[in-house]
A and B are shown apart, each in its own frame.
Chain A
Amino acid sequence: MTWWPLIKVLPQKTNLHFVKYARYAAVLSIVLCVASIVGCFVPGLNMGIDFRGGASLEVSKPAGQVIELEKVRESVAGLNLGDVGVQGIARLDTNVNDGSTAIVRFQVPEGKDQTTVVNEVEGAITAATGQVTYSGVSVVGSKVSGELFTSGLLALGCAIVLMFAYIWFRFEPQFGFGAVAGLLHDVILTFGLIVVLRLEFSLNMVAAILTVIGYSMNDTVVVFDRLRENLRKYKTMPLRDVIDLSLNETLTRTIITGVTAVLVLAALAVFGGEALRGFSIALMFGIIVGTYSSIYVGAPIILLWGVKRGELNDDAKPIKLGMASRP
C-alpha cells in the first residue's frame, strides 16, 4: 500500500537515542555560539545603511556594457566620503552577474546635505564610467539609522521575552528556560552566519531573525507539547526516556516541515533575486538550526533542570499502551 516514494525514505517509527548525544551536541553548540558572539564584534556585523546611515545606489548599464568598478571606486573615493563600497551584482533582468550592474555604498559626512552629496556622487560616477541609470537609491540619515537599530534590537529582545513568557504560561518554567535557551542559540548562530557570509545586516535581516524566532518556537512547541503529554502518560518512565520518546514521535513531522520550509526558501534564494538572497539564506539557516536546537538544546535542558512530574499528573489519566515496553 505504501507505493509513494517518500514514505520509504522517511522514518516511520524511530528509536534514536538523542539524549545520549546531547553532551557532544552541547559542546558543539557552546563553541559555535561563543564563536558567533565573538564574530559579531571581531570582525563585526556588516551593517547596512539601514543601521549606520548613509546611501546606497544601484547603478546599471545596458546588458553587455561593463561598469568599471575600479574607476567608480576611485571617483567616489575622491569625494572624501570615508567608507566607500563598490560591488558588482547580478543583472536584474537576467539574474547573471555580467559586470553591468553594481551597488555603490557610501557615508554622508556629518553636517552635509544628503541630496547634495548624492548628486555629487552620481556626477562622479557618470564622469568615471559614462552614462548609467540609477534604478534604486536609498539614503538614511544618521538619526533615523540609530533609531532603526535601537528598535531592531528592541524587537529581538521583546520577541525573546514574550516567547519565554508564553512558554512559561502555557507549559512550565523549566520548559520556558529550555525554549529560550534554544531560541538564543538559534539567534546567536544566525548572527554568526551573517558574519561569516558577510551578509548585509539590514532591516530585512531583523525580520528574518524574528521569523527564525517564530519558527524555532513553533518547532520547540511541537516537541514540548508531545513531551508534556508523554510525561502525563508514562508516569514512571525516566525523564530522559520520555524526552527521547517524544523526540522520536515528532521526528517525522520535524523532518517533513523543516525540509519543506528549507526547500521553499532555497527556491527563494535562487530565483528571488539579489534583494531577497541574503534574507532567504539567513532564514534557511535559521530554520535548520532551529530544528536542531529543538532536538538538542531545548529538550535536554529540561533534563538538566528536571520537571516536577507530580503537578503534571494532576489531570492526566494514565493510558496503557503497547509502547510502555520501550527501553
Chain B
Amino acid sequence: MIQLSRWKIVLLALSLVFGLLLAFPNVLSPEQRAKLPGFVPKNALNLGLDLQGGSYLLLEVDVPAMRAKRVDNLAEDVRVTMRDAGVNVNATQREEGGVVITLADPGQTETAYQALRRLVGGANQQGVVERAVTREGNGRLRFAFTQQAMDSMGASAVDQSIEVVRRRIDSLGTKEPSITRQGSNRIVVQAPGESDPAALERVIGQTAQLTFQMVDSENSVQQALAGAVPPDAVLMMDEDGVTPLLIKRRVLVSGEQLTHADVTTDQNGQTAIGFRFDGVGAQRFASATSSENIGKRFAIILDGKVISAPRINSTIPNGSGIIQGRFSIQEASEMVNLLNGGALPAPLKVEERRTVTAELGADAVQKGGISTIIGFIIIVVFMLGAYGFLFGGVSVVGLILNGLLIIAAMSLTQASLTLPGIAGLVLTFAVAVDANVLIYERMRDEARAGRSVIASMDAGFNKAMGTIIDANLTTLVAAAIMFIFGAGPVRGFAWTLTIGVFTSVFSSVLVAQVLLGYWLKVAKPKKLPIADAETVR
C-alpha cells in the first residue's frame, strides 16, 4: 500500500493538472475569461444569489382557478348549445370538471345528446379528446373535460406561464435570469445582479388578459345597479374607477389575436398604446366596429379592469388601433411589454421572495473568504503542531489539493456556491484532515504494538481505510438528504459538502500515500517520527 505505485503518482499528477486547469478561470476577470480559446474551460465558481445579490421569486400557478374558468366557459357553451337546439334545461350542476344538466323533458335526451356530441369536437394536437358527453339516464346528461384534459391543463398552463414569464423578464432587460419549473405547479425565477425586485414582481404578477367587449347600450345602468343585471352582461367600473358601466359578457376580440403592441401618442399628444390584430382578430374587430355599431361604446378590459371605453366613430378594417387612457409613459410601456409577452393562462401568486443587494452579497463573499482563510490557517497550525512538519506537512499538502479540487469541481458542475455553502467548505477543511488523523493514529498504534516503520505505516493505511470510508459515508448520507429535502441555499450547502467529502478523502489519502511513500524510499527511516516517545526504541 505504501509502496510508490506508478498509477498513484499518475493519478495524483492528473488530479493536480485537472484541478489547476478547472480552477484557473477563477483568478481571471470575466473579460479575460471571455477571451480564452474554446477548448479551455472558462467556467468560474457560480455564486448563489445570496453572494452576488439578486432576486429569487417562487411563483405558484393557480391551476384550480384556471380550471374553474375553463369549466365556466364550458358551462356557457352548453347553455348556448341547448338554447340553439331548442332543448329546455331544468337544472345545471357543476360536477368534476364539467356540468350535469337535467332536461325538463326526458324525451329530448337524444336531441340534446346529439347537439352536445357536436360540441365535443375532435382530438387536439396531442391526440387527446378533451371533452366528453355521457347520458346518465332520467334526462340527465354530463358534459365534462376528460381526466386527461384536466391533467394536461395544469401541466401546459405551467409550461405556458414559464414562456410568458421569460418573455416579460427579458423585456425588462434583466441579465441571465433563470426560470425553472419546480414541482407540479410552481415556477422559480432567479434574477441575479442589481435588478428592481418590485418591478419584477409587478410585471410577473399581471395575468395580462386583454379583451374587447361591447358596452350594453340597451339596458339601463340604473336598473342594473338596483339589482336587475341582464344575464348576458356584467357591471364594471369605468376607467375612472367611479362610473359604473354595463358590459356584455361576450368577448369580441381577445389578447390572443394580438400580434403587436407599442407605445404611441394619440392626436392630442397623450401617451397611448398602439395595437395590431392578426387576420381573425382584424375581421372580428372590423365587424364589431361595423356601421350598425357606430356611435356605441366598447370596453377594453385588462385583467378584469376597464382601461378604456371609447366610442366607435368609424369602421376599423385593418385590425389596428390605439388605446387611449390616462397612462404615464412608464405605465404604458409596462402594459405594452405585458401585451407583447402574452397573457398568462392562469394567475400567478408570489409565494416566496428573497432579495439581496449586490453590496450585501459582496460583503458575504468577503466575510466567507476571510473566515475560510482563518479556518485554513488554524488547521495548518494545528496539524503541524500535532504531527510535525513531515506528517503534518503532508496533510497540509493534501488540504491544499483538496481546496483546489473543490473549486475545480464546483466550477465544472456550475453548482451555485451559497453562503451556507462557504460554511460547508470551511467544515470540509476541518473534516478533511480527519482521514489523515485516522491514518496517523493507526500508524502510532501499530508502532506501539512493536511493528517496524514500514509495517506500521502500511497497516496504518490499510486498517484506517475502512474506518475512513464508513465515517465519510455517513456525512454523504446527511448531504444527500439535505439535497433531496432542502431548498435554495441548503442545497448549495449539501452540494459543497458532497463534493468536499469526495475530494477530501481522495486528496488526503492519495497525497499521504505518495508523499510518505517517497519519504520512506528516500529517507529509509528507522523509526516512525510520530511514534510515542516511550515506545521509540
Interface residues of A (CB under 8 A from B): 1-7, 10, 12-13, 58, 92-93, 95, 114-115, 119, 133-141, 143-144, 148, 151-152, 154-155, 158-159, 162-163, 166, 170, 203-204, 206-207, 210-211, 213-215, 217-219, 221-222, 225-226, 229, 249-250, 252-253, 256-257, 259-261, 263-265, 267-268, 270-273, 275-276, 279-280, 283, 321-323
Q: Which residues of A contact B419 (CB under 8 A)?
A: 275-276
Are B533 and A253 in contact, CB atoms less than 8 angstroms apart? no
Name the interface residues of B413-431: CB closer than 8 Å to any CB of A: 419-420, 422-424, 426-427, 429-431
Looking at the assembled complex, report how far the CB atom of B468 sits from the nearest CB atom of chain A, in whole angstroms.
Answer: 9
Are B379 and A264 in contact, CB atoms less than 8 angstroms apart? yes
Most buried by A among B201, B429, B431, B438: B431
Are B481 and A218 in contact, CB atoms less than 8 angstroms apart? no
Cross-interface CB contact of B479 among A137, A140, A214, A229, cutoff 8 Å: A214
Q: Which residues of B contact A275 (CB under 8 A)?
A: 50, 364, 419
Looking at the assembled complex, report how far the CB atom of A263 sits from the nearest CB atom of chain B, in whole angstroms.
Answer: 5
- The reply on B384 being an interface residue by CB < 8 A is yes
Q: Which residues of B contact A225 (CB under 8 A)?
A: 466-467, 470-471
Q: Mark B444-458, 1 if CB is under 8 A from A, else 0.
A: 110011100000000
Are B441 and A4 in contact, CB atoms less than 8 angstroms apart? no
Per DSSP, chain A at the interface is helix
A-B contact pairs, 18 of them (CB 8 A): A5-B385, A7-B385, A13-B532, A134-B357, A139-B354, A143-B351, A152-B485, A211-B475, A211-B478, A217-B474, A218-B474, A221-B474, A229-B463, A253-B437, A260-B379, A272-B368, A276-B423, A279-B423
Most buried by A among B352, B392, B448: B352
Looking at the assembled complex, report how far the CB atom of B418 sits from the nearest CB atom of chain A, in whole angstroms.
Answer: 10
Interface residues of B (CB under 8 A from A): 50, 58, 60, 197-198, 201-202, 205, 349-357, 359-360, 363-364, 367-368, 370-371, 374-375, 378-379, 382-389, 392, 419-420, 422-424, 426-427, 429-431, 433-434, 437-438, 441, 444-445, 448-450, 463, 466-467, 470-475, 477-479, 481-482, 484-490, 493-494, 497, 527, 529-530, 532-534, 536
Are A10 and B386 in contact, CB atoms less than 8 angstroms apart? yes
Q: Which residues of B contact A210 (CB under 8 A)?
A: 478-479, 481-482
Q: Which residues of A contact B479 (CB under 8 A)?
A: 210, 214
Contact A137 B353, CB 8 Å, known A6-B382, A257-B433, A268-B423: yes
Per DSSP, chain B at the interface is helix
Looking at the assembled complex, report how far the CB atom of B235 sits from the nearest CB atom of chain A, in whole angstroms.
Answer: 24
Are B441 and A211 in contact, CB atoms less than 8 angstroms apart? no
Q: Which residues of A contact B368 (CB under 8 A)?
A: 272-273, 276
Contact A214 B474, CB 8 Å, known A155-B481, A263-B382, A271-B374: yes
Q: Which residues of A contact B527 (CB under 8 A)?
A: 1
> Which 3 residue pairs of A and B lie closest in terms of their CB atoms, listed nearest first?
A214-B478, A155-B485, A217-B474
Chain B residue nearest in CB terms to A93: B363
Chain A residue nearest in CB terms to B449: A321
Q: Which residues of B contact A213 (CB under 8 A)?
A: 478
Cross-interface CB contact of B533 among A2, A136, A211, A263, cutoff 8 Å: A2
When chains A and B are docked, how far (Å) is the Cα of A163 from the Cα of B474?
Answer: 7
Are B205 and A115 in contact, CB atoms less than 8 angstroms apart? yes
Are A322 and B485 in contact, CB atoms less than 8 angstroms apart? no
Are A261 and B382 in contact, CB atoms less than 8 angstroms apart? no
Are B481 and A158 in contact, CB atoms less than 8 angstroms apart? yes
Q: Which residues of A contact B475 (CB under 8 A)?
A: 211, 214-215, 217-218
Cross-interface CB contact of A92 among B350, B353, B363, B478, cutoff 8 Å: B363
Q: Which residues of B contact A203 (CB under 8 A)?
A: 486-490
Are B449 and A271 in contact, CB atoms less than 8 angstroms apart? no
Q: Which residues of A contact B434 (CB under 8 A)?
A: 218, 253, 257, 260
Are B486 and A253 in contact, CB atoms less than 8 angstroms apart? no
Chain A residue nearest in CB terms to B472: A218
Looking at the assembled complex, report how far the CB atom of B6 sits from the nearest CB atom of chain A, in whole angstroms.
Answer: 31
When chains A and B are docked, how far (Å) is the Cα of A323 from the Cα of B445?
Answer: 11
Are B360 and A92 in contact, CB atoms less than 8 angstroms apart? yes
Are B473 and A166 in contact, CB atoms less than 8 angstroms apart? yes
Looking at the assembled complex, report how far the CB atom of B178 sits from the nearest CB atom of chain A, in whole angstroms.
Answer: 18
Q: Which residues of A contact B386 (CB under 8 A)?
A: 4, 6-7, 10, 256
Q: Which residues of A contact B198 (CB under 8 A)?
A: 115, 119
Are B467 and A135 in contact, CB atoms less than 8 angstroms apart? no
Are B533 and A1 in contact, CB atoms less than 8 angstroms apart? yes
Are A211 and B497 in contact, CB atoms less than 8 angstroms apart? yes
Q: Which residues of A contact B449 (CB under 8 A)?
A: 321-323
When chains A and B are docked, how far (Å) is the Cα of A222 from the Cα of B441?
Answer: 12
Are B354 and A137 in contact, CB atoms less than 8 angstroms apart? yes
When chains A and B are docked, how far (Å) is the Cα of A279 from the Cα of B360?
Answer: 18
Q: Which residues of A contact B493 (CB under 8 A)?
A: 204, 207, 211
Contact A158 B423, CB 8 Å, known A141-B351, A221-B471, A249-B445: no
Looking at the assembled complex, report how far the CB atom of B469 sits from the nearest CB atom of chain A, in whole angstroms.
Answer: 10
When chains A and B are docked, how far (Å) is the Cα of A327 from the Cα of B389?
Answer: 36
Most buried by B among A154, A162, A273: A273
Chain B residue nearest in CB terms to A251: B441
Chain B residue nearest in CB terms to A257: B434
Looking at the assembled complex, report how far the CB atom of B305 sits from the nearest CB atom of chain A, in whole angstroms.
Answer: 16
Are A272 and B371 in contact, CB atoms less than 8 angstroms apart? yes
Chain B residue nearest in CB terms to A10: B386
Looking at the assembled complex, report how far the CB atom of A276 sits from the nearest CB atom of chain B, in whole angstroms.
Answer: 6
Are B385 and A207 in contact, CB atoms less than 8 angstroms apart? no
Are B533 and A264 in contact, CB atoms less than 8 angstroms apart? no
Not counting A58-B360, A143-B351, A272-B371, a sample of 16 additional A-B residue pairs whose C-beta atoms are within 8 angstroms of each other reads A92-B359, A134-B355, A136-B360, A141-B351, A162-B481, A163-B477, A204-B420, A207-B486, A214-B478, A214-B479, A260-B430, A260-B433, A263-B378, A268-B371, A272-B367, A321-B449
Are B474 and A166 in contact, CB atoms less than 8 angstroms apart? yes
Looking at the assembled complex, report how far the CB atom of B453 sits from the nearest CB atom of chain A, in whole angstroms.
Answer: 13
Are B359 and A1 in contact, CB atoms less than 8 angstroms apart? no
Are A264 and B367 in contact, CB atoms less than 8 angstroms apart? no
Chain B residue nearest in CB terms to A229: B463
Q: Which residues of B contact A215 (CB under 8 A)?
A: 431, 475
Contact A6 B385, CB 8 Å, known A204-B490, A214-B477, A261-B427: yes
Chain B residue nearest in CB terms to A179: B474
Are B357 and A135 in contact, CB atoms less than 8 angstroms apart? yes
Q: Which residues of B contact A140 (CB under 8 A)?
A: 351-353
Looking at the assembled complex, report how far the CB atom of A166 sits from the nearest CB atom of chain B, in whole angstroms.
Answer: 6
Q: Which residues of A contact B426 (CB under 8 A)?
A: 264-265, 267-268
Q: Which residues of B contact A1 (CB under 8 A)?
A: 527, 529, 533, 536
Contact A148 B430, CB 8 Å, known A139-B353, A275-B419: no
When chains A and B are docked, how far (Å) is the Cα of A140 from the Cα of B427?
Answer: 29
